[in-house]
Structure 1
Amino acid sequence: MKFTRFNIVILIGFLAILGVVIMQLFLLNQAYSFEKKEVEDKIYYALLDVVERIYVDNNSELIVGNQIKRVAHNYYVVNVNDAFENNILEFYLKKEFAKVKLDLDFEYAIYDCGTNNMVYGNYITSNSQPSKKCIDCFTKNDELIYYFAVRFPTLKQSYFTSLKQYWLYTIVLFLVLIVYVYSVLLMLKQKRYTVLQNDFINNMTHEFKTPLASILIASNFANDQKEIKQNPRLSKYIQIIIKQSNKLNEHIEQILSLAKTDSNNIDLSKTEIDFRKVLELIKENILLKYPEDIVFEFHFSKKLIIKADEFHFYNIFYNIIENAVKYGSKKPIVKISMRENEKTISIIILDNGNGVPKKDLPFIFDKFYRVERKDSKEIEGFGIGLAYVKKIGQLHGWKIKAENANPGLRVSIEIPKSDIHE
């Protein structure tokens, strides 16, 4: 796999989240071990106090040795080695467990020397809903004579309950990891589709340009022929072919430029550009292309020399101004002015059309997005002109936005003063 910046960021993000999940699992394991140790200690010392109370009641000397033996994780055998009563044992068990705040269900059984069997005592619950008793769970110990056994049926569940916040954090982290991996897979899939799309666009547009160039050469040659000039009908058809071919050629150039900016293969060659001269050139070309009566109004308080890529700079303003003409009124008026603040100068292009529907306005700079005209059922263009404008503006470090002016659409380009020489 090629280690691009995108892949490195994804890998670092994945490793970071995975590291946090592993750390959380480690903390969860530590918390579980700590909780288990704490509960076992409570049980041990509570049972030891029970034995001591029994010996105090019997006025006997406490035996030396290990009286408490853990047979299983929730099963304890306590060697008393002295006589004791059932009801007294239950009282002491309740009291000592409450003293150490051991809020667990428990059941106990006492060894009966006469019958040589474990006699089930009682099931003590910490709430009003006791679990099922397990009388057969208590087994004899042939090495002891006076002893009892205590079982905690809900001990393991209590560990998980007490660690519920740790479990919650762990589950959330796993969900974050799953969402991250899923999002990355979607991005990689989208990126692959974008690459395929750009390759397709580049290949198709290049394939279109060769036959289109031949059509234009042949059409221009035919247009100069005497027979064509003398036949108004044929001359009109040739003019249509030339006009539509040039229009198609412009669309192809826009698609190529946009595909190039998307692939980040564009290099800006910045020079100092006289903005007023560029506007005059755009005005001249627009008036040649459109037969309507177009009014241009330039309102500038000073001369602006802008540092930008000359080719793309021209294309940015040509696209915006041409849109102002195309989507303006039947007698288009295009006003170009400037607004200055402390750090930037904004160039504003305003037309006198119907503006853009509110629902479409946030998306007009999106690639391939087109707005339906109120005065025409046909949706014009490919939706790439303003996307190209936005992309080139971003590459220059400029901010471009559009808003309805009632009437018309106002497009403003905010340029830092560091790119402007007055």
Structure 2
Amino acid sequence: MISRRTFRVFIVLAALSFAGVLFTQVIWMKKAYSQKREDFNRQLTLALQEVVRDVLKYNNTETMPPNPVSQLTENYFAVMVNDLIDPSVLDHFIKIELNRFHINEPYAYSIYDCSNKQLVYGGYYKESLKVESANAYKFPPFKFDNYYFTIYFPNIKMGLFSDMGLWIYLSLLVLLILIFFTYSFFVITRQKRLSEVQRDFINNMAHEIRTPLTTIGMSVTGIETNLQNHQDKVLIYSQIIKDESAKLKMQLERILGLDEGAKLEKVWVDPNQLIKSCCEKVVLLNHLSDQEFKLDLCPDSVQLFIDAFHFSQVCTNLLDNAIKYSANNKHIEVKTFVVNGNFQLMVADHGIGIASKYHKKIFDRFFRVPYGNIHQVKGFGIGLFYVKQIILAHKGHVWIESELNKGSKFFIDLPIPISHG
């Protein structure tokens, strides 16, 4: 399997490659457009020069003004003629020359009349350019005190882009390929994460199940050794076997039941009594003193319509986590409240805590906060997922408040039915 470092390097290199391709693509498109624009301006300049030559020839004038074409704006050109301009003649020659130079863009033109110092708006061509749009464009009064005409191309950018159709399609194809590879990387990353989760789950499951099996084996050996003369030890070993077998069965049922969903058998119960019972078992099994464990139940008489077994398992999970992650600073607090008509449970510890970046993931299936060695703290990574699923099935909420190295607080909020509020 690829190491995590190698995979990260691969992802970084791939991201840089994609960024390079996109950057190159943008530069390439900009240069392609600039080249198209230069070609258009060059062809248009040649065409307009020919228009001037045709008009002067028609007027029997031999003197051709030097550099007659001036680009005033991106799509607006002025053409010096220095001779009388007949609108119909100009109209005819513009059509001929633009067509000869393969310029098919819509345009509008105007003629400057030296006799009255006014611009006379002229013709418009191509169906896409209507009279309103041509006349709406206000031709700037670039008055050279000579005979000239101006020509305006309103859709020149769109026209150039349409001429670049093949290039644009190729660019879109490259972009789609990049999107596909990006999506593939996300899928690969997700599959790698799931593979790591699966591997950790299997390792932890093997470790978690091995312990009770070892204990059962040792107890059986003890029974065989003391079967004749030490009946009291036999009873102890038998009880150990029962407890470890029950624990093993509970772990397996929890794993198998995750995909099936919790089947709730709701009854009316006092949640404080259930919580107290769970706490007593946990305190006894972990040999906690009064200084290490504090229970504070609310005085309100509360009845909830819940599944007593699953709710007890939820409490036990939270208590087990609080103890496991408290390290050598065991100081567990359990409190219950009635807030805004809801019953709330808080389980707090003063242990290693959980960084804020993991708060949203902590209730995900198989997620375990990375603390280094996976065997340092036992677990499958399904306990808190189980807690969330059970609480959600009861129309409740569960959340965490925690800071790294400052302990954690888990809260459960369940609605109190009105009939028993």
| TM-score, normalised via structure 1 length | 0.49
| TM-score, normalised via structure 2 length | 0.49
